[in-house]
Amino acid sequence: MDFSLSEEHIMIRDAAREFAQTELLPGVIERDIKQEFPDALVRKMANLGFMGIMVDPKYGGSGMDAISYVLIMEELSKIDASASVIVSVNNSLVCYGIEAYGTEAQKEKYLTKLATGESIGAFCLSEPEAGSDATSQKTTAIDKGDHYIINGTKNWITSGGRADVYLVIAQTDRHKGSHGINAFIVEKGTEGFHTGPKEDKLGIRGSDTHTLQFNDVKVPKENRIGDDGFGFRFAMKTLSGGRIGIAAQALGIAQGAYELALKYSKERKAFGTEICNHQAIAFKLADMHTEIAAARHLVMKAAWDKDQGNNYDMSSAMAKLYASKVAMEHTVEAVQIHGGNGFVKEYHVERLMRDAKITQIYEGTSEIQKIVISRSIIRD
**Whether 80 contacts 106, CB under 8 Å:** no
Which of residues 91, 106, 116, 126 is near ligand COS by CB under 6 A?
126
CB of 364 to ligand COS, least distance (A): 3
CB of 273 to ligand COS, least distance (A): 46
CB of 104 to ligand COS, least distance (A): 23
Distance CA 93, CA 55 (A): 12
Stretch that binds ligand COS, among 63-71, 247-255, 349-357, 364-372 (CB under 6 A): 364-372
Q: Check residue 314 for interaction with ligand COS (CB under 6 A).
A: no
Q: Check residue 364 for interaction with ligand COS (CB under 6 A).
A: yes
Window 241-280: contact mask with ligand COS (x via CB under 6 A)? ----------------------------------------
CB of 219 to ligand COS, least distance (A): 20
Q: Which is nearer to ligand COS, 34 or 176 (CB)?
A: 176
219-238 residues near ligand COS, rule: CB under 6 A: 232-233, 236-237
Q: Check residue 372 for interaction with ligand COS (CB under 6 A).
A: yes
Q: Check residue 239 for interaction with ligand COS (CB under 6 A).
A: yes
* Number of residues binding to ligand COS, judged by CB under 6 A: 20
CB of 224 to ligand COS, least distance (A): 18
**Whether 355 contacts 203, CB under 8 Å:** yes
Q: Check residue 91 for interaction with ligand COS (CB under 6 A).
A: no
Q: Which is nearer to ligand COS, 99 or 363 (CB)?
A: 363
Which of residues 172, 240, 265, 331 is near ligand COS by CB under 6 A?
240
**If DSSP states are collapsed to H, E and C, what string results for the chain?**
CCCCCCHHHHHHHHHHHHHHHHHHCCCHHHHHHHCCCCHHHHHHHHHCCCCCCCCCHHHCCCCCCHHHHHHHHHHHHHHCHHHHHHHHHHHHHHHHHHHHHCCHHHHHHHHHHHHHCCCCEEEECCECCECCCCCCCCCEEEECCCEEEEEEEEEEEECCCCCCEEEEEEECCHHHHHHHEEEEEEECCCCCEEEEEECCCCCCCCCCEEEEEEEEEEEEHHHEECCCCCHHHHHHHHHHHHHHHHHHHHHHHHHHHHHHHHHHHHHCEECCEEHHHCHHHHHHHHHHHHHHHHHHHHHHHHHHHHHHCCCCHHHHHHHHHHHHHHHHHHHHHHHHHHHHHHHCHHHCHHHHHHHHHHCCCCCCCHHHHHHHHHHHHHHC
Which of residues 41, 122, 134, 356 is near ligand COS by CB under 6 A?
134
- Around 306, how many Cα atoms within 13 Å sit in the side-chain half-sphere? 31
Distance CA 92, CA 76 (A): 15
**Cβ-proximal residue to ligand COS, closest one:** 364
Q: Which is nearer to ligand COS, 28 or 134 (CB)?
A: 134
CB of 123 to ligand COS, least distance (A): 6
φ, ψ at 359 (rounded to 5°): -70, -20
Which of residues 132, 215, 308, 374 is near ligand COS by CB under 6 A?
132
CA–centroid distance for 275 within its chain: 35
Q: Check residue 204 for interaction with ligand COS (CB under 6 A).
A: no
Stretch that binds ligand COS, among 132-140, 190-198, 223-231, 326-334 (CB under 6 A): 132-140
Q: Check residue 371 for interaction with ligand COS (CB under 6 A).
A: yes
CB of 113 to ligand COS, least distance (A): 22
Q: Check residue 125 for interaction with ligand COS (CB under 6 A).
A: yes
Active site residues: 363
Q: Check residue 130 for interaction with ligand COS (CB under 6 A).
A: no
Residues near ligand COS (CB under 6 A): 125-126, 131-132, 134-135, 178, 232-233, 236-237, 239-240, 313, 362-364, 368, 371-372
